[in-house]
Amino acid sequence: MSILIKGATLPGGTTTDVLVQDGTIAELGAISAKADQTIDADGLRLLPGLVDLHTHLREPGREDAETVLTGSRAAAVGGYTAVLAMANTNPVTDTGEAAERVHDLGRAAGLVDVQPVGAVTKGLAGQELAEIGLMARSRARVRVFSDDGRCVHDPRVMRRALEYVKAFGGVVSQHSQDPSLAGPSACCHEGELSGRLGLPGWPGVAEEVIVARDVMLARHTGSRVHVAHVSTAGSVEVVRWAKAQGIDVTAEVTPHHLLLTTDLLSGYDPTYKVNPPLRPDEDVQALREALADGTIDAVATDHAPHARHDKEHAFVDAAFGMLGLETALPVVTTVMVESGLLDWAGVARTMSTRPAEIAGLEGHGRPIAVGEPANLTLVDPAAQVVVDRAASVSLSRNNPWHDRKLTGRVIATLLRGTPTVLEGAIA
Amino acid sequence: MNRHLLSIDDVSADDIQEIFTTAAEMHDVQRRQVKKLPALRGRTVINLFFEDSTRTRSSFEIAGKWLSADVINLSAKGSSASKGESLRDTVLTVTAMGIDGLVVRHSASGAAEQISRWIDVPVINAGDGTHEHPTQALLDGYTLTRRLGSLEGRHVAIVGDLTHSRVFRSNVKSLTKLGATVTAVAPPTLMPAGVGDWSKTAGFATAYDLDEVLPQADAVMMLRVQRERMSGGFFPTAREYTVGYGLTRERLAVLEPGTPILHPGPMNRGLEISADAADALDSVVLDQVSAGVAVRMSVLYHLLAGEETSA
Ligand SMILES: [Zn+2]
């Protein structure tokens, strides 16, 4: 099977034909050879396939909200070739068998590589380490561990986790939220709006103290820590400082924290309820700058599908989370590329190369070069799209981008040379 | 007037005056032997209470009945989430019975506003979490207006647990709309987040020192301190709270005679309000209760009397 991509512009700006053969990039340049299939890429950008460090797939346990298959579809449509599936399913991914099950479901779906994230602690309870080593040694080869949804709050447990994952080059991805500073029902950025609306506040400092603590623990243990969904300017400062000290810390930001602000909560619409919460504009600006200058390494979606009825509660009782996989690239294009903060090489770096490196994913996030695996995403950088939540291939509809006009559209996605998406739809 | 009463934001200063004018007429009816008015005959109002409040529920119930509405009390406490039913499902089920107005009380901020988007009958917020309690604010404003005449230029001190008080959030809006100057007094731990910015745009003052504020107050509104707050580390002890922020006998003596003392009830005697203050001649706590019925009659009348009865 061969595919010829005609006239694509690479992240660096050169325009070339790309011949994909048997899952690998076989040739670059002006190619006249015939292929089984030809894609006209005039005016389009070819990126290494996107990698999401932070996806919630809901299987097992909540297959009414999303399954590995439907989540894989959403990922492929969004231009992803690999996603890391968070461990907070039911049951939790905290054993080797559980990790292999998720991995195998991903294989069966066959649209993206689904790489399970292992829980740090048994049942996400924050007390005892989960079977981290068995997950690492399993067929799933787990390298990223996270209790996401919850913070590994006990500093001793966090320390041991950081030490333990060193044995196999793993990383702990922390959901930074001091549960005492952000109380049990915290659901709105603590500030003027939360005070006025009477919503339980989730202060930025509850994130910042954990980020600060964890980078010190990473320094002490000589281990690697990853800060999930950074949301405040203060956290950015801490990460910037830690990197300058040579501490092995990486960080991700979500598309929604790059664009949406806390004032969207003024009508108590649970669509905008997310954890960490949407922050004010000052934080949003700091996050954009930090992504541009490399302080924040990666864009990660925190794709969190929910059944409709789980959002149709009073705001404080509604589920946290919003969809993200299908819209991440258009949001980044709109926020970062159109504003000139990031070029396409920057997009490739933050949405593919760095996430793949952080997750230790081989075969993803590779340069577009001869001999590399053909995990590729073709993007129309100028397309204007009005998001329609009904058009989503996810099982859920908690889409904060509904009716918004965004720039950038994924045209095609190739997983090891096989199109998973063509003309913007599942192939 | 807006279709719903979810927040004081839904009523203008003129709307409030109109509600007061009607309330005064309703108030007179209360003194009659036969208290029924036919205004809402044939209309059905549901009091949907997700959170207990005998006082507010009875007030709405009496108000509806004196207007000849059929009033049904439904307690939905714990019913929806525990049965796996969404709030929307619960509310749609209730309203599908064919009703003309919904009075809703919920422990979650914003619940009334959310509900108003799901149904097509007027919704009256009878208290939503720590957000608002607009009819309480209206009855407080009505009570004060009766006592002091116009509130234009009058100074009202609102004292206590501001963070968790929906009464505060509604009153600060309604009192400023009525032309009053408001000073919100609390220890820093019981001030709402971001109150500095909010007070500037909303036009009220804040203070930590009650003794500096009291001599200038034309009215004092004491807020209830929830006992469970004390273990939340908001202040060290009840004793310390009373010394700093209680309307004690000594502070009572500082007030000009005729300064109305309000409390939304139920009162923690000896904590935020001394027995002397609660029972003082200038205490209008019971006036607030009776005004509550009149004001709620007025609100129901204004929101529902014009509405077409559902089939
Ligand atoms: Zn998280």
In a domain, A366, yes or no: no
Closest residue, chain A, to B164 (C-alpha): A198
pLDDT tens-digit profile of A274-298?
999 999 999 999 999 999 999 999 9
Interface mutation target, options A64, A188, A272, A315, chain B, most CBs of B under 10 Å: A315
- Cβ-Cβ contacts under 8 Å, B161 against chain A: none
Q: How many domains does chain A have?
A: 2
Question: Of A113, A297, A302, A380, which residue is the catalytic one?
Answer: A302
* Residue A27 structural domain: 2-45+373-426
pLDDT, position B251? 97
Q: How far is the CA of B80 from the centre of ligand 1 (A)?
A: 27
Percent above pLDDT 70 for chain A: 100
Interface mutation target, options A181, A263, A268, A279, chain B, most CBs of B under 10 Å: A268
- Cβ-Cβ contacts under 8 Å, B192 against chain A: 194-196, 198
The pLDDT of residue A322 is above 60: yes
In a domain, A365, yes or no: no
| Same domain, yes or no: A74 and A25 | no
Interface contact flag, B193 A190, Cβ < 8 Å: yes
In a domain, A220, yes or no: yes
Nearest to A312 among B87, B130, B194 (CB): B87
- Cβ-Cβ contacts under 8 Å, A189 against chain B: none
In a domain, A384, yes or no: yes
C-beta of residue B272 within 8 angstroms of C-beta of residue B168: no
Interface contact flag, B109 A313, Cβ < 8 Å: no
- Cβ-Cβ contacts under 8 Å, B132 against chain A: 198
> Which ipTM did the prediction report?
0.92
Domain boundary among A359, A382, A405: A359
Give CA–CA dist B205/A52, Å, rounded.
48
Residue A412, C-beta contacts closer than 8 angstroms, at least 6 positions apart = A39, A376, A377, A378, A419, A421, A422, A423, A427
Number of H helices, E strands in chain A: 13, 19
Tokens of A165: 């994952």
Percent above pLDDT 70 for chain B: 96
Continuous segment of H or E residues that includes residue B174 = helix B166-177
pLDDT tens-digit profile of B128-146?
999 999 999 999 999 999 9
pLDDT tens-digit profile of A359-387?
999 999 999 999 999 999 999 999 999 99
| Same domain, yes or no: A403 and A277 | no
| Same domain, yes or no: A267 and A394 | no
> pLDDT-based confidence at B31, cuts 50/70/90?
confident
Q: Is B106 on the interface with A (CB under 8 A)?
A: yes
Backbone φ and ψ of A395, nearest 5°: -75, -15
Q: How far is the CA of A411 from the centre of ligand 1 (A)?
A: 29
| Same domain, yes or no: A261 and A182 | yes
Continuous segment of H or E residues that includes residue A408 = strand A405-415
Interface contact flag, B113 A317, Cβ < 8 Å: no
Q: How far is A391 from chain B (nearest CA, A)?
A: 23
For chains A and B, what is the number of CB pairs under 8 angstroms?
88
Q: How far is the CA of B276 from the centre of ligand 1 (A)?
A: 52
| Same domain, yes or no: A274 and A320 | yes
pLDDT, position B311? 38
Nearest to A195 among B128, B132, B193 (CB): B193
| Same domain, yes or no: A389 and A242 | no
Closest residue, chain B, to A192 (C-alpha): B194
- Cβ-Cβ contacts under 8 Å, A197 against chain B: 109-110, 131
In a domain, A87, yes or no: yes
Q: Is A302 a catalytic residue?
A: yes
B266 labelled ligand-binding: yes
Domain boundary among A334, A359, A384: A359
Sequence-ordered alpha helix ranges (H) in A125-254: 132-137, 155-164, 192-197, 204-221, 233-244
Give CA–CA dist A147/B203, Å, rounded.
44
Interface contact flag, B89 A316, Cβ < 8 Å: no
Q: What CATH number does the domain containing A414 carry?
A: 2.30.40.10
pTM: 0.95
Per-residue pLDDT, averaged over A33-57, amounts to: 97
Interface contact flag, A316 B108, Cβ < 8 Å: yes
CB atoms within 10 A of CB A370: 13
In a domain, A113, yes or no: yes
pLDDT, position B227? 78
| Same domain, yes or no: A308 and A411 | no
In a domain, A368, yes or no: no
- Cβ-Cβ contacts under 8 Å, B108 against chain A: 314-317
Per-residue pLDDT, averaged over B29-53, amounts to: 91
Q: How far is the CA of A275 from the centre of ligand 1 (A)?
A: 6
| Same domain, yes or no: A93 and A25 | no
Nearest to A317 among B89, B108, B194 (CB): B108
> pLDDT-based confidence at B85, cuts 50/70/90?
confident
pLDDT tens-digit profile of A84-115?
999 999 999 999 999 999 999 999 999 999 99
pLDDT tens-digit profile of A136-182?
999 999 999 999 999 999 999 999 999 999 999 999 999 999 999 99
| Same domain, yes or no: A245 and A391 | no
A54 labelled ligand-binding: yes
Closest residue, chain B, to A191 (C-alpha): B194
C-beta of residue A158 within 8 angstroms of C-beta of residue A217: yes
Give CA–CA dist B112/B118, Å, rounded.
10
Q: What CATH number does the domain containing A243 carry?
A: 3.20.20.140
In a domain, A367, yes or no: no
| Same domain, yes or no: A179 and A248 | yes
The pLDDT of residue A212 is above 70: yes
Please state, rounded to an integer, the average pLDDT across all residues of chain B. Answer: 94
Domain boundary among A329, A359, A389: A359
The pLDDT of residue B310 is above 80: no
| Same domain, yes or no: A177 and A75 | yes
Q: How far is B67 from chain A (nearest CA, A)?
A: 31
Bridge partners, A27 (sequence order): A19
Per-residue pLDDT, averaged over B263-271, amounts to: 95
Residue B283 corresponds to which amino acid?
A: S
Interface contact flag, A198 B130, Cβ < 8 Å: yes
Closest residue, chain A, to B130 (C-alpha): A198
CB atoms within 10 A of CB B54: 10
Interface mutation target, options A279, A316, A397, chain B, most CBs of B under 10 Å: A316
Nearest to B131 among A192, A197, A312 (CB): A197
pLDDT, position B76? 85
| Same domain, yes or no: A112 and A189 | yes
